[in-house]
A and B are shown apart, each in its own frame.
Chain A
Amino acid sequence: MTELAIIMMGAVLTNNFVLVKFLGICPFLGVSKKLDSAMGMSLAVIFVMVLATAVTYPIYMGLLVGYGIEYLQTIVFILVIAALVQLVEIAMKKHLPALHKGLGVYLPLITTNCAVLGVCILNIDESYTYIQSLINSFGAGVGFMLAMVMFAGVRQRIENNDFPIAFKGVPSILIAAAIVSLSFMGFAGVIDGIFGL
């Protein structure tokens, strides 16, 4: 149990996908403009991450390892994740049209999002069990949400400020992202302290 808690906390804070590992920057910068679309996008990412792990892990362990063709990992994972996201999109368009409209182009972009592919591959690399993989994916998604929601707040402050012209728009956002990322680097070692490792 403690181990799962450590994996979860680690995925959210010390190994935050966006702010520490720099994966999934595209939606982080693209959808963090408004708080509600940031929330929607994060929920979609959590959902897709857990689902993708739930599907790719058995495929890897069963099919790829079984036949000794681990080198096909990347292409198979991409294929499966792309199909999954497409499925989620179809279902969302039918049942949650408002969220679908709010996410716009970023939902299809999850298909090739490095954060989603990254979490699947990292689960394999870390040789987690199935349960640990699912917890890690969920934690990565929650970490993504934390980063998105925090940054949406930061951006709201940025929008209302009078910046020098050279910094207006993307430069100011990138600098703010760097500072937020810096603050997350400070979590290094926190987990060890909490659980007394």
Chain B
Amino acid sequence: MQFVIPVGIVIGIGLLSGIILTVAAKFMAVEVDQRAADIAAILPGANCGSCGYAGCADYAKALAEDPSLPINACPPGGNAVALALSELMGVEFAGAQAKVAIVKCSGTREKTSYSMDYQGYQNCTANKLFYRGRGTCEKACLGFGDCVNVCDYGAIYIENGIAVVNRNKCVGCGACAKVCPNKLIEIVPDKMRVVVGCSSIDKGSVTKDICSIGCIACKLCEKACKFDSIHVIDNHAVIDYTKCTNCALCAKVCPTGVIHVHPKKKAK
């Protein structure tokens, strides 16, 4: 008997817990939406949030509940994901809007200079907060690479003091655009290849003194553009990408050469 009671008690407690748990699991089962799980499996799972939802799982849930939502809102997934989603959900696919980041500063070390020998915390945001930037131009790329640190795709790097985007790797998620304290990075449609590499808000004469490539707001590009798509706003040229046709006439007339034309993207 002295062995039966202890063993019996432990077995009894175990059995009882087992039964309670089984019943609880049965009664409080959470139905998992199979559709949402399937959609989440297709999405890249980077949780970058560029679709406008909190993460891939949230987007999948929203899609499963309301199939009329756009299926091409995932820039990192691009065409492949949108195609797979259209197949799964039986929705007509309109073609994903591929996007890419552009950097609106060209002030490399040869073109402009630092106004200080900054020794503090090597971080764009910190430098901007304390000293409004280390360059002579207030809107210059700070070059500490906050954007590089947040990029999940290795698509942006610092070269010669400024951020450069590798267009073949960039998926247009916009993580870099969010962290840049100077707001130099913009997300534009992938097919747009003409980029104004300057955001200077100084007057043309000042810009000319501190940066040999900066936009001097001469408005030659405005006159050259046949599509009314480039305008000088706040002392630098800004392209309206809804009108731009990649003709690159503006780049040809630009006296400082601050308007760049990127080569066509290689097919993936």
Contacts and interface: CB of A to CB of B under 8 A. Distances in A.
Contacts of A64: 9
Contact of B13 (A67, A76, A90, A162): A76
Contacts of A83: 17-18, 20-21
Interface in B110-128: 121
A167 to B, nearest CB: 15
**What band does the interface of chain B fall in when counting residues whose beta carbon is under 8 Å from A?**
10 to 19
B28 interface: yes
Given A79-B17, A80-B17, A90-B25, A67 B30 contact: no
A101 to B, nearest CB: 9
Interface string B223-238: 0000000000000000
A59 B18 CA distance: 17
Given A83-B21, A87-B20, A87-B21, A97 B9 contact: no
Contacts of A170: none
Interface in B1-29: 5-6, 9-10, 13-14, 17-18, 20-21, 24-25, 28-29
Between A75, A80, A90, the greatest number of chain B beta carbons within 10 A of the residue's beta carbon is seen for: A90
Contacts, number: 44
Interface residues of A, number: 20
Contacts of B10: 72, 75-76, 79
A67 B20 contact: no
Contacts of A179: none
Interface string A3-34: 00000000000000000000000000000000
A166 interface: no
B89 to A, nearest CB: 24
Given A72-B6, A83-B17, 16 more contacts: A69-B5, A76-B10, A79-B10, A79-B13, A79-B14, A79-B17, A80-B17, A82-B17, A83-B18, A83-B21, A87-B24, A90-B24, A90-B28, A93-B28, A94-B28, A94-B29
Interface of A: 59, 63-64, 67, 69, 72, 75-76, 79-80, 82-83, 86-87, 90-91, 93-94, 97, 162
Interface of B: 5-6, 9-10, 13-14, 17-18, 20-21, 24-25, 28-30, 121
13 contacts: A67-B5, A67-B6, A69-B5, A72-B6, A79-B14, A90-B25, A90-B28, A93-B28, A93-B30, A94-B29, A94-B30, A97-B30, A162-B121
